[in-house]
């Protein structure tokens, strides 16, 4: 069985979460255990050299002993659960691993079994060749990242903390090698995620007396809630330039020409004018402020019934130094209406700031990461980046001297949109990139 066949097999193990499943549900746990055993069977040389600890179906940890017990270890993270797929909207069965036109199709091909399999293929090859790292290398794989890492990553973090194991740095999924993502730059860019935005969901609720729709009250809860949402939209969170994002813009400036180059290299000199110049793009604006997405609206279950309450949900991605609590207070002040309750309604986490040295393109792990990127993607600029999505790595922030979030995938905007989408697929070249990147990186450690 070769790399491609093993990867296809990993896709065929249906590690999504059945609707309504919770921890302990056999429907969810059986395929997760199957995946753990698949790794053990598929990578025999690696499993001869390491110590394996299966904590539960959602967490498996490997220790690869290094030459020095004194050197601080390094941590690699990945997850093997995937989001569900709407089968009827795919052109191939979503868990088939079908090959077509140089691509492998299937849920999890991009997010993120390609990363996990890339790590395992690299480690297997190096172990078979007799390689031993300088320091211990740990691998922590989770089975519930798509459900906030409650039983996977959090369990692993407690396991490490109880044993007083700390890491020089860690690597998880995150940013990519972006192709055609910046309009005026015609070369790929390796975006090395060093910082992660926080995540919060807030519920807004307005109540009223329920009754027949033929006798509506003078002031309706839906109108009260609508005015609250309008106030929020008129009071966005303020712009802020973090050191990470400033480093990103300065790197773009080095690749630009004319007035654009000057603007990107001197963002602080321009102040508000800089934000006005670059924030027209939602993608760029998301790097510069805490964002608010109005994602859910709920009212009456019937069109002729006045609901007893109406509800809206906001999803926020928090830019440091905003926290869940300070953002909640900001939204409440923006609403400024005692008839509308605003509360946290889901698992929420604060931002994860970077190691300050990483924003300056130095610090623990930067040299090795940059060298591995350059080896696999020659001539591609490497620059610091802010990850606006959430990853399992946020749970490990107190255990690591720094965290990188990077996927060695060259993706266009169209390919990036396939993540969690219909007909998710990865090119065979990108799969090879994953294997080559992790082989090069591990060999440097």
Write out the catalytic residue numbers: 81, 145
CA–CA distances in Å: residue 292 to residues 78, 156, 246, 362, 421: 28, 31, 22, 32, 22
DSSP 335-403: H--TTEEEEE-S--B--BPPPTTGGGT-STTHHHHHHHHHHHSTT--EEEEEE-S--GGGGGGGGBS-E
Which residues have CB under 8 Å from 396's CB, separation 6+?
75, 77, 140, 153, 157, 160, 167, 170, 403
As given in the structure block, the two tokens for residue 191 are: 């975006």
Dihedral sign for Cα atoms in the order 360, 365, 370, 373: negative
As given in the structure block, the two tokens for residue 215 are: 């006798």
As given in the structure block, the two tokens for residue 230 are: 């309008």
Side-chain half-sphere of 65: how many Cα atoms within 13 Å? 8
Rounded to 10 degrees, what is the CA torsion of 289, 295, 300, 306? 20
Side-chain half-sphere of 39: how many Cα atoms within 13 Å? 28
436 with 131: CB under 8 angstroms?
no
CA–CA distances in Å: residue 409 to residues 75, 95, 176, 324, 415: 20, 21, 6, 32, 10
Dihedral sign for Cα atoms in the order 392, 398, 400, 405: positive
């Amino acid at each position: 069985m070769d790399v491609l066949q093993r990867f296809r097999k990993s896709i065929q193990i249906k590690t999504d979460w059945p609707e309504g499943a919770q921890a302990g549900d056999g429907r969810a746990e059986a395929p997760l255990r199957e995946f753990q055993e698949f790794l053990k069977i598929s990578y025999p040389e690696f499993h001869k050299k390491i110590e394996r600890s299966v904590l539960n179906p959602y967490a498996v940890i490997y220790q690869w002993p290094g030459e020095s017990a004194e050197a601080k270890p390094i941590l690699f993270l990945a997850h093997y659960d995937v989001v569900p797929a709407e089968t009827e909207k795919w052109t191939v069965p979503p868990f088939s691993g079908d090959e077509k036109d140089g691509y492998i199709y299937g849920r999890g091909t991009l997010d993120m079994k390609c990363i996990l399999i890339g790590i395992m293929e690299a480690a297997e090859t190096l172990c078979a060749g007799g390689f031993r790292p300088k320091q211990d290398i740990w691998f922590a794989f989770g089975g519930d990242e798509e459900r906030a890492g409650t039983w996977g990553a959090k369990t692993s973090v407690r396991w490490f903390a109880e044993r007083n194991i700390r890491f020089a740095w860690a690597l998880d999924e995150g940013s990519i090698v972006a192709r055609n993502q910046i309009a005026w730059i015609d070369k790929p860019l390796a975006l090395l995620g060093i910082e992660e935005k926080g995540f919060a969901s807030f519920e807004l609720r307005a109540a009223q007396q329920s009754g027949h729709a033929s006798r509506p009250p003078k002031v309706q809860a839906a109108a009260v809630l609508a005015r609250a949402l309008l106030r929020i939209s008129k009071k966005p969170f303020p712009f802020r330039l973090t050191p990470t994002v400033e480093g990103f813009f300065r790197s773009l400036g080095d690749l630009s020409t004319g007035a654009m180059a000057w603007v990107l290299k001197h963002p602080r000199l321009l102040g508000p004018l800089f934000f006005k110049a670059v924030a027209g793009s939602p993608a760029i604006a998301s790097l510069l402020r805490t964002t608010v997405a109005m994602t859910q609206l709920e009212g009456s279950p019937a069109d002729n019934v006045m609901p007893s309450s109406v509800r809206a949900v906001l999803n926020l991605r928090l830019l440091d130094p905003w926290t869940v609590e300070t953002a909640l207070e900001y939204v409440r002040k923006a609403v400024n209406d005692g008839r509308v309750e605003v509360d946290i309604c889901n698992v929420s986490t604060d931002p994860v700031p970077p190691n300050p040295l990483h924003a300056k393109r130095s610090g623990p792990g930067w040299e090795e990461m940059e060298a591995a990127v350059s080896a696999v993607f020659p001539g591609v600029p490497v620059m610091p980046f802010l990850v606006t999505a959430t990853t399992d790595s946020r749970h490990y922030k107190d255990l690591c001297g720094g965290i990188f979030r990077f996927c060695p995938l060259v993706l266009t905007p169209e390919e990036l949109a396939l993540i969690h989408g219909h007909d998710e697929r990865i090119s065979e070249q990108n799969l090879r990139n994953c294997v080559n990147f992790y082989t090069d990186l591990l060999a440097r450690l």
